[in-house]
Amino acid sequence: MKNILIVDDEPHIVELIKFNLQKEGYNTFEAENGNTALDIIKNNRIDLVILDIMMSDKDGYEVLKEIRFNKETKNLPVILLSAKSEEIDRILGLELGADDYITKPFSVKELVARVKALFRRIESLKPDVEEKIRFGDVEVDFTKRSVKKRNQEVSLSFKEFELLKLLIENRGRVLDRDFILQRVWGYEFDGDTRTVDVHIRFLRRKLEDDEKNPRYIETVRGVGYRFREGSD
């Protein structure tokens, strides 16, 4: 059974989400503030976090930063909830490593559908056998879902790792932005193709020595991106 942590300081929203998730067979934990949420994550096996941004003691952005900074929880899937619908807020959430972003008011059925879709994508990414790949000074371990550059661990969010894996699996092929959105974010994602560009920028910042002249992830103008053949 999957354990989902719901973090929101509005009790009626927590109860609504809790009821619908439990009806679908998920086990839930609840927290009304960021500090309690971090304690629950530390002391329990949590498979996914639904995290409100606007909270009093520690907002959702701060909680997300701590989740991503911690080696034990850096790959924990996080869906952000927010009353903020501006593009800059969505981009900030993605930059901090959120896997999805839903604005309030929201359809609880849509939220549950996104939870299911995220778990399906996680399962689909599990390799059948232990597999590692090295390109240049970067090593990717698909089994451990870890990345190292010059033997130093590189922290990637869940979506960043999915994107890198997709590019590597299709080495030498040009992948357009819509294809990447469908494969990494799923058909349920209501964002636009700029989301792909933002995450490509994150990957280059972490893996490339020169972001402006990338060695591994090539931009194909007007189309999308390609992982260079012979990058290893």
Q: Where are the domains of the chain?
A: 3-124, 132-227
- Mean pLDDT score, 47-51: 95
> What burial class does residue 172 get, using C-beta atoms within 10 Å of its C-beta: 0-12 exposed, 13-18 middle, 19+ buried?
exposed
CATH code of the domain occupying 3-124: 3.40.50.2300
What is the DSSP secondary-structure string of 120-182?
Answer: HHHHHTS-SS--EEEETTEEEETTTTEEEETTEEE---HHHHHHHHHHHHTTTSEEEHHHHII
What helix, strand, coil percent values describe the chain, rounded to 5? 40, 20, 40
Q: Region 137-141: what's the mean pLDDT?
A: 92
Tokens of 195: 């989301």
CA 6 to chain centre: 17
Q: Tokens 């639904």, residue?
A: 50
Of the chain, the end-to-end C-alpha distance in Å amounts to 39
**Most confident range, picked from 31-40, 56-65, 131-140:** 31-40
Average pLDDT, integer, range 4-20: 95
Distance between CA atoms of residues 181 and 10, nearest Å: 32
Cβ count near 118 (within 10 Å): 22
Scan for tokens 């929201």, then name that residue: 106
Backbone φ and ψ for 174, nearest 5 degrees, come out as: -85, 125
The pLDDT of residue 2:
92
Q: What's the average model confidence in pLDDT over 19-30?
A: 96
Residue 115 burial (CB count, 10 A): 23
CATH of 132-227, one of 3.40.50.1980, 3.40.50.720, 3.40.47.10, 1.10.10.10: 1.10.10.10
pLDDT of residue 129: 44
Average pLDDT over residues 2-9: 95
Give the whole-angstrom CA distance, residue 181 versus residue 176.
9
Average pLDDT, the chain: 87
Residue of 23 and 94 predicted with greater confidence: 23
Task: Sort 88 into a burial class: Cβ within 10 Å, 0-12 / 13-18 / 19+.
Answer: exposed
